[in-house]
């Protein structure tokens, strides 16, 4: 992880250069070999012309193969690629990785073809192509033997690459988790220590942190945006924070937010505020059910209750924000209150 920032910037330019570079290297090696051979020939230190083209081909092929074998050795020490969180960068790195792997494969193929054709050219020049069939058999045998010998090594390499990759992903996740806990839980714990003299504040902090952490753990936050259940949860969290009274929300079913259901949420929020204020500090229960026929929300407290008809006209909260708001959107609101059973506000939207 620590070495990554320095290593990442040089990556983007690599794959293209590698393919072009290998062709250049192969060509250069071939030309060098050719000139060396021609020089030898000119000076007379020479065996047979049959050697020229096979040697040139072999040199070119070898150059390619050697470059190839150097590349995978470099992969394991490469830094974690997923350090950058941006999806665009990650996608770019991944497509580069794919391209690079294709380039390695094609280099290997070309290298092998060059070396093989060198062999064929040599055999044909020396007239022993017919004998080559036996040789090919021998070669196959040798290849199989080599395969058996090197297979465990290759498999170990592949496995270590996989392990490397998952380790990278794990450390990435760990870093994200640590960052999140730092921003949320540790901050809250610091606040809790500073307000340890105020039990209400501590409880409120613990509640809101709990809500936030649950939300994060469940991973629902994104898919639930713009839905009724989420909007009610948010309203409950706000009321809880503002009034220091726990608000429990239970929802059955869900629906998208439109202007009517937004009004429903606003009315429910007002009812929660009243319940938190006048509910005597007891927890407030909110139950919402969104069905195909209608949507209902119940907000209930366990306070001492009040007479809805006796609410003075200047108390706009109940009359305007709850009853009026629901009626304007084609819904209904009912307030049931009794001195010992608390108050329940019932909001219904057809």
Partner 1 sequence: MNGPRVVIVDDHGLFRSGVRAELEELVAIAGEAATVADAVEVIGRESPDVVLLDVHMPDGGGVEVIRQIAPAQPDVKFLALSVSDAAEDVIAVIRAGARGYVTKTISGPELADAARRVHGGDAVFSPRLAGFVLDAFADAPETGGADDELDQLTPREREVLRHIARGYMYKEVALRLGISAKTVEAHVSSVLRKLQLSTRHELSAWAAKREL
Q: Which helix (H) or strand (E) is 241 found in, with range? A: helix 228-243
Cβ neighbours of 209 (radius 10 Å): 17
Window of 123-131, 144-152, 232-240, 247-255 that interacts with partner 1 by CB under 8 A: 247-255
* CB distance 84 to 127 below 8 Å: no
Please state, in angstroms and rounded to a whole number, the distance separating the CA atoms of residues 93 and 246. 47
250 scored as a contact of partner 1 (CB under 8 A): yes
339 scored as a contact of partner 1 (CB under 8 A): no
Chosen residue from 251, 257, 311, 334 binding partner 1 by CB under 8 A: 251
How many residues line the site for partner 1 (CB under 8 A)? 15
The nearer residue to partner 1, 182 or 214, going by C-beta atoms, is 214
Candidates 350, 346, 294, 287; CA nearest to 322 is: 346
The nearer residue to partner 1, 248 or 262, going by C-beta atoms, is 248
Q: Which of residues 166-225 bind partner 1 (CB under 8 A)?
A: 214, 218
In the complex, what is the shortest distance from the CB of residue 317 to partner 1, in angstroms, rounded to a whole number?
A: 21
Chosen residue from 67, 227, 269, 300 binding partner 1 by CB under 8 A: 300
230 scored as a contact of partner 1 (CB under 8 A): no
Tokens of 193: 């220590």
DSSP-derived secondary structure for 112-161: HHHHHHHHHHHHHHTT-TTTHHHHHHHHHHHHHHHHHHHHHHHHHHHHHH
Residue 316 CB contacts under 8 Å (≥ 6 apart), including other chains: none
248 scored as a contact of partner 1 (CB under 8 A): yes
In the complex, what is the shortest distance from the CB of residue 58 to partner 1, in angstroms, rounded to a whole number?
A: 59
Chosen residue from 136, 196, 252, 258 binding partner 1 by CB under 8 A: 252
Candidates 278, 279, 272; CA nearest to 241 is: 272
In the complex, what is the shortest distance from the CB of residue 153 to partner 1, in angstroms, rounded to a whole number?
A: 38
Q: How far from chain centre, in Å, is Cα 296? A: 37
298 scored as a contact of partner 1 (CB under 8 A): yes
341 scored as a contact of partner 1 (CB under 8 A): yes
285 scored as a contact of partner 1 (CB under 8 A): yes
Q: Identify how many contiguous H helices and E strands the chain contains and give both numbers.
A: 11, 5
The nearer residue to partner 1, 29 or 268, going by C-beta atoms, is 268
Binding site for partner 1 (CB under 8 A): 214, 218, 248, 250-253, 283, 285, 287, 289, 298, 300, 341, 344
């Amino acid at each position: 992880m620590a070495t990554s920032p320095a290593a990442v910037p040089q990556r983007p330019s690599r794959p293209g250069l590698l393919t072009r570079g290998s062709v250049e290297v192969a060509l250069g090696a071939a030309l060098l070999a050719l000139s060396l051979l021609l020089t030898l020939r000119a000076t007379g230190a020479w065996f047979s012309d049959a050697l020229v083209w096979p040697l040139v081909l072999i040199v070119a092929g070898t150059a390619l193969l050697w470059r190839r074998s150097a590349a995978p050795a470099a992969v394991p020490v490469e830094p974690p690629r997923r350090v950058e969180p941006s999806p665009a960068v990650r996608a770019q790195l991944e497509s580069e990785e794919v391209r690079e792997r294709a380039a390695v494969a094609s280099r290997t193929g070309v290298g092998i073809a060059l070396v093989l054709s060198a062999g064929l050219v040599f055999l044909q020049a020396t007239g022993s192509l017919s004998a080559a069939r036996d040789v090919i058999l021998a070669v196959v045998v040798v290849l199989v033997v080599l395969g058996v010998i090197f297979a465990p090594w290759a498999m170990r390499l592949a496995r270590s690459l996989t392990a490397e990759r998952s380790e990278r992903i794990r450390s990435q996740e760990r870093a994200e988790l640590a960052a999140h806990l730092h921003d949320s839980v540790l901050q809250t714990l610091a606040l809790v220590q500073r307000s340890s003299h105020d039990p209400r504040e501590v409880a409120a902090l613990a509640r809101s942190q709990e809500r936030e952490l649950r939300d994060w753990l469940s991973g629902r936050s994104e898919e639930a945006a713009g839905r009724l259940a989420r909007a009610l949860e948010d309203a409950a969290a706000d009321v809880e924070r503002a009034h220091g009274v726990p608000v429990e929300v239970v929802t059955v079913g869900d629906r998208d937010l439109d202007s009517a259901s937004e009004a429903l949420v606003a009315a429910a929020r007002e009812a929660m505020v009243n319940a938190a204020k006048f509910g005597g500090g007891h927890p407030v229960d909110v139950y919402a059910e969104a069905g195909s026929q209608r949507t209902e929300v119940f907000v209930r407290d366990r306070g001492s209750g009040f007479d809805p008809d006796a609410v003075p006209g200047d108390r706009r909260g109940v009359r305007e924000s709850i009853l009026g708001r629901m009626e304007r959107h084609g819904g209904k609101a009912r307030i049931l209150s009794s001195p010992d059973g608390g108050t329940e506000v019932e909001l219904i939207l057809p």
